[in-house]
Structures are given as structure tokens and as C-alpha cells.
Amino acid sequence: MGAGKSTQLKGRVALLAVFAISLAFPRVTAAQVAVGQFLGGAATALIAHESGHLLLDATFGAGANLKKVNAGPLPFFAITHHFVSPAREFAISSAGFWVQHGTDEILFAKRPRLRTDRAWFLKGMFAFNVLTSVGYSVAAFVERGPDERDTRGMAASARISERWIGVTILAPAMLDGARYYRPDNPWLKWVSRGTKVGGALLVLRAAS
């Protein structure tokens, strides 16, 4: 067999192999890609939330340990640290929410019409931020969940009811959700930012 025919035969075998692989592994659809990107964004937002706690743990020299906890019927983990002053405790417990608030502001600044964009990764981050805040606020309202929950640490250090902490977490989440659907409404932006700043200023109460 000549070199030319051998090369052609190898080329045909390679094409057949590619065709067989394509049959064995169906083509990824656009919907599957979107779901993957969305989940990737949510996972990234989770890492960012926990990184906020770790950053302040390191800044204040509080140390950090992982502890297994249960979020309802689901096993999860909590980041614990050594005893610190009330103001530092409030900041560490709030850090995840502060990261979420900052992330949402960046998302709205870069993608003011995020709802109509096909930015599934960014939508996943935004969805995580909003739904996480809603979940924490519900836990705060009913005062249920692991003792290490962020809202309990915030309430104890600021010496106020955990239900009020739930309000400070839920309000910006709901307002940001409204901004997602009504990006041209200017008062939603400023009221949302005001609630975020107001919640952060509770650190002054913890310090007093």
C-alpha cells in the first residue's frame, strides 16, 4: 500500500473514531452550558462569602477552624474562630454579607441590565447572594439553626434581637432583587445602598 493511500486510510479511521466518540458523548446543549455556568457562579459566590470570614479572621488574628454543622436536614460546615471583642465578632460574622453586598454593587455597575444579559455565571452569583440572605434572614426570624450561624453572632455582639438582624439582611436582598427587575428605578439603588450601610454601622453598637 502506498504512502498516500495509507495516509488517506488513517485519516478515514480518525474521522470514524471522532464520529464514534460524538455518538458516545452527546453534544452539550446551550441549556446545559447555561446551567453549568450558573452553578459555577453560585459556587464562586459561596467561596467569596466564606473568604470574607476567613480574611477578617486572619486580619484580627482570630484563627479559623472548620466545624461540621447541620443546616436543617443537610450537613454543612461552619468556620469558627477564637474569642474576640464584640466589634470584631460583629465584623467577622457580617463579612460574608458585606462581600455579597459589594459583589452585587459591582454586578449592577458592570451589568445594569443583568436580567436580560446571557451572563449566566454572573446570574448564578447574584442568585446565590440573594437566596443566601433570604435563607439567613428566615433562620434569624425563627431563631433556628446551628449556633455558629452568622446572624446569631451579629445579634449577640451588637446586643440586639436576632430578628432585627434578619431585617437588616433581608431588606437589601429584596431591594437588590427589585433592582434586578427594575434597573432604571434610581430610588431602589439608593435605598438598597442605604440599608447595606445601615446594617454595617451596627458595628458601632457592638463597639460601644
Report phi then psi at 61, rounded to 5: 65, 35
> Which one, of 17, 18, 36, lies nearest residue 28 by Cα?
36
Q: How far apart are CA 202 and CA 90, in angstroms?
A: 8
- pLDDT over 80 (residue 20): no
Sequence ranges of the domains in the chain: 31-207
More confident residue, 105 or 62: 105
> Which one, of 182, 183, 176, lies nearest residue 199 by Cα?
176
Query: Are 40 and 121 in contact, with CB atoms under 8 Å apart?
Result: yes
More confident residue, 155 or 18: 155
- pLDDT over 80 (residue 122): yes
pLDDT of residue 3: 47
Q: What is the mean pLDDT of the chain?
A: 86
